[in-house]
C-alpha cells in the first residue's frame, strides 16, 4: 500500500503471494486508481478467481458490454454540449462561497520517514447486521429519504458533534456506470466526484440538496473546482456510498483492504453485502488532532446502532417474538406523477393502452423449472414491493409485512417472434399483480426466462436490478444465504412552488429551441 507509481511506471499493478504455515496462502493485489475504480477492481478479482478455477468461459465478456474507450469518447463529447454548460453554471453558483473541509480533520501532510506515497492509511471496518440494517432502512423510509442520504447525514452529524463547524465541505464519489448501459462489468475508471457543502446535517435537507446536485453531475467535481474563481480550500474528507452497486458474485474471500488517495485523510465507504451494511474508513491517524480517528469511527458506529435500535427496540429479530406471529395490515403509498400517467392511459380503455412495461430475457441452458420457482419465490420475499398492487384509488398497496408468499405459477410457452410483442401489449389488470415470469421454450432446445414488469410499479433501473438478482438467485440455488426483506423508501419531500420553479428554470436553461 506504500507503493507510489509515477509517470512512465508500468505496469501500474502488482501481484504477490504469501504462503502461510498451514499451507494456505494470501494473495496481495495492488492496483493504481488510474487503471480501474472500486467496482472494476471487484470484477478483476472475480475474473482472476474464475481463471484460477479454470471455469469454462471465465473471461468471455457478455455481448453488449460497453468498452471503456467508447465510454470515454462519449464523456468527451458530452463536455461540449449545452447540458454540460448549464451544469457548469450550476456549480459556479453552488461553489462560489465554498467552505473548507471539516476542521477536525487535517490534510495528510507528508513527513520525514514516510515511505512511498506519503503517510500510511489505517482501515477501520464495521458492520451493521441484517436486522439492524433493515431497521435503519425503515428509519430512512419514515423520514422520506434514501438510505444513502440518511447515512450521509449521520456521517456529517458525527463530524459536527466532534467539533466541526457548519458549513463544511465533503467530497462525494459518484459513478457514471449507472447511466452507461452495459458498463456493469467493464474494467475502467467510471468514478467521478461531487463537492458537497454541508449546511444542515438533517437527512431531509441532505437529500434535497443531494438530489439537486446530482441533476448536474455531468460536470465532475475536479472540473468544477478548477473553473472556480479563487483558491480551493483543503478537502480531506470523502464519502463514498455504494448501496446501489451490486457487488459481482464470486472471487477470493477478502482478508484485508485499504485505499490511498492524495489529499484525503478520511475516506468513508459503505456498501451492502449478504443483507448487512458494511462500512470502512481509510484514515491517516495523525491527521486527527482530537478526537482521534478511532473515537470518531466508534461514535459513527454507535450512532447507526442507536438509530437502528430506536426503530427496532424488540431485539435482533426486528419485531420481537410475539410480533413475528402477527400479520400487519397492508400499507398504502401515494403514486407519483409518472405512475398516475401510466394509469390514466390504461384507464382510457383503448385496446393498445396497456400502460408501460419492460420485458427482459435471459437464456438458460438446461433450465430447472423447480429451481426457477424457488428463485422467484425468494425474490418476492426479498422485495415485497414486487408483490404490491397499483390502482388509482389506493395508490401503491404494499402487502402485509408478514404475509406469506404464494409459490408462483411459471407458465412454459413456445418461444415465438410474437411472444415478446404480446407480453408488451397485454395489460396487467388493474389491482392485480404487476410482475410476470414465464419460460419461452425454443425449438433449438434453448430456454429463455422472460421477466415482464409494469413500470407503474418500479422504474427501469430497478427492473434491470431485479432481473439480475433473479438470475443470481437461480444460479446460487437454494443454499444461498437468505437476506432480509427490503421495504421501499418513502416518498421524498416535495419542493415548494418557488423552489420547483427555480429547479425547472435551471433544468431548461440552455435547451435548444
Distance CA 84, CA 55 (A): 44
Using CA of residue 125, residue 41, residue 272, residue 243, what is the dihedral sign? positive
Which pLDDT score, from 0 to 100, does residue 470 have? 92
Which pLDDT score, from 0 to 100, does residue 170 have? 97
Give pLDDT tens digits along the chain (513 positions): 667 777 677 788 888 888 988 888 888 888 887 777 778 788 888 888 777 777 656 666 665 567 777 777 777 778 888 888 899 999 999 998 899 999 999 998 877 777 766 788 899 999 999 999 999 999 999 899 999 999 999 999 999 999 999 999 999 998 777 666 667 777 877 778 899 999 999 999 999 999 999 889 889 888 999 888 778 899 999 999 988 766 666 667 777 788 888 899 999 999 998 889 999 999 999 999 888 999 999 999 999 999 998 765 554 434 332 222 223 334 556 666 676 666 666 655 555 555 578 899 998 888 888 899 899 988 888 888 888 877 665 567 777 655 667 777 888 888 888 888 888 777 665 545 788 899 998 877 788 999 998 888 888 888 998 999 999 899 887 655 555 555 444 444 445 555 666 666 666 666 665
Domains delineated in the chain: 1-32 (no CATH), 36-308 (3.30.559.30), 332-476 (3.30.559.10)
Is residue 439 within 8 A of residue 412, CB to CB? The reply is yes
Does the pTM surpass 0.85? The reply is: no
Which pLDDT score, from 0 to 100, does residue 507 have? 65
Helix, strand or coil, per DSSP, at residue 13: strand
DSSP-derived secondary structure letter, 178: G
Distance CA 256, CA 265 (A): 19
Which cell goes with 335?
Answer: 403514486
Which pLDDT score, from 0 to 100, does residue 319 have? 36
DSSP-derived secondary structure letter, 461: H
Amino acid at each position: 500500500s506504500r507503493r507510489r507509481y509515477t509517470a512512465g511506471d508500468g505496469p501500474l499493478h502488482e501481484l504477490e503471494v504469501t504462503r502461510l504455515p498451514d499451507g494456505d496462502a494470501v494473495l496481495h493485489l495492488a492496483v493504481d486508481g488510474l487503471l480501474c475504480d472500486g467496482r472494476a477492481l471487484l470484477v478483476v478479482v472475480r475474473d482472476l478467481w474464475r481463471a484460477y478455477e479454470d471455469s469454462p468461459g471465465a473471461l468471455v465478456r457478455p455481448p453488449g458490454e460497453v468498452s471503456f474507450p467508447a465510454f470515454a469518447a462519449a464523456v468527451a463529447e458530452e463536455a461540449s454540449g449545452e447540458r454540460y454548460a448549464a451544469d457548469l453554471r450550476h456549480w459556479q453558483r453552488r461553489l462560489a462561497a465554498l467552505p473548507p473541509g471539516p476542521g477536525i480533520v487535517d490534510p495528510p501532510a507528508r513527513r520525514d520517514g514516510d515511505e512511498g506515497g506519503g503517510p500510511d492509511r489505517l482501515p477501520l471496518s464495521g458492520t451493521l447486521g441484517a436486522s439492524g440494517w433493515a431497521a435503519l432502512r425503515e428509519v430512512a423510509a419514515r423520514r422520506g429519504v434514501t438510505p444513502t442520504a440518511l447515512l450521509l447525514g449521520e456521517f456529517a452529524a458525527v463530524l459536527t458533534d466532534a467539533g466541526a463547524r457548519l458549513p463544511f465541505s465533503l467530497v462525494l464519489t459518484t459513478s457514471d456506470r449507472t447511466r452507461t448501459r452495459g458498463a456493469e462489468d467493464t474494467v475502467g475508471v467510471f468514478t467521478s466526484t461531487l463537492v458537497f457543502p454541508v449546511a444542515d446535517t438533517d437527512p431531509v435537507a441532505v437529500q434535497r440538496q443531494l438530489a439537486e446536485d446530482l441533476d448536474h453531475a455531468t460536470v465532475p467535481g475536479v472540473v468544477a473546482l478548477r473553473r472556480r474563481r479563487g483558491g480551493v480550500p483543503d478537502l480531506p474528507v470523502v464519502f463514498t456510498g455504494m448501496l446501489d452497486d451490486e457487488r459481482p458474485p464470486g472471487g477470493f474471500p477478502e482478508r484485508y483492504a485499504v485505499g490511498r488517495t492524495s489529499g484525503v485523510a478520511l475516506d468513508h465507504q459503505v456498501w451492502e453485502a449478504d443483507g448487512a451494511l458494511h462500512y470502512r474508513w481509510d484514515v491517516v491517524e495523525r491527521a486527527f488532532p482530537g478526537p482521534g480517528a478511532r473515537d470518531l469511527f466508534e461514535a459513527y458506529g454507535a450512532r447507526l446502532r442507536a438509530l437502528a435500535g430506536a426503530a427496532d427496540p424488540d431485539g435482533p429479530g426486528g419485531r420481537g417474538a410475539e410480533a413475528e406471529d402477527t400479520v400487519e395490515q397492508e400499507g398504502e403509498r401515494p403514486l407519483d406523477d409518472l405512475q398516475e400517467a401510466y394509469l390514466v392511459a390504461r384507464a382510457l380503455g383503448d385496446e393498445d393502452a396497456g400502460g408501460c412495461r419492460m420485458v427482459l430475457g435471459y437464456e438458460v441452458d438446461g433450465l430447472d423449472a423447480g429451481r426457477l420457482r424457488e428463485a422467484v419465490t425468494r425474490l418476492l420475499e426479498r422485495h415485497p414491493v414486487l408483490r404490491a398492487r397499483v390502482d388509482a384509488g389506493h395508490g401503491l398497496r404494499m402487502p402485509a409485512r408478514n404475509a406469506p408468499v404464494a409459490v408462483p405459477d411459471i407458465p412454459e410457452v413456445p418461444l415465438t417472434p410474437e411472444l415478446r410483442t404480446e407480453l408488451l401489449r397485454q395489460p396487467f389488470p388493474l389491482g392485480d399483480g404487476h410482475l410476470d415470469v414465464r419460460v419461452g421454450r425454443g425449438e433449438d432446445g434453448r430456454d429463455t426466462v422472460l421477466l415482464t414488469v409494469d413500470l407503474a410499479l418500479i422504474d427501469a433501473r430497478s427492473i434491470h436490478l431485479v432481473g439480475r438478482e433473479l438470475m443470481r438467485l437461480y444460479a446460487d440455488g437454494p443454499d444461498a444465504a437468505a437476506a432480509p426483506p427490503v421495504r421501499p423508501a418513502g416518498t421524498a419531500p416535495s419542493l415548494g412552488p418557488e423552489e420547483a420553479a427555480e429547479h425547472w428554470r435551471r433544468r431548461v436553461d440552455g435547451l435548444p429551441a
